[in-house]
Amino acid sequence: MKCDRCGGEYGEKLVTYTIMFEGKFHIIEGVPAKECSKCGDRLYAPPIVEKIQTAIWSHKKPSRVVETPVIEFASI
């Protein structure tokens, strides 16, 4: 499958998906996706997106918690 953005090829890959929800940054590891080998654009199948949404919305207990520094762009 060709990428609409750059013409690169998509390949199956396990990726890390990140999302901000209710003021918290969530990281989901090992997510199946198609990723462009050239520009990195990602495509997710609808059932994968639904599974991620269900986990986030239901406040699934995390496997682990990491501390994330935050820097406001205006302060640099």
Query: What confidence tier does 10 reach under pLDDT thresholds 50, 70, 90?
Result: very high
If you write DSSP's letter for every residue of the chain in order, what string do you get? -B-TTT--BEEEEEEEEEEEETTEEEEEEEEEEEEETTT--EE--HHHHHHHHHHHHTTPPPS---------GGG-
Query: What confidence tier does 29 reach under pLDDT thresholds 50, 70, 90?
Result: very high
- The pLDDT tens digits of the residues spanning 52-68 come to 999 999 999 999 999 98
pLDDT at 38 over 90: yes
What pLDDT is stored for residue 68 in this prediction? Answer: 86
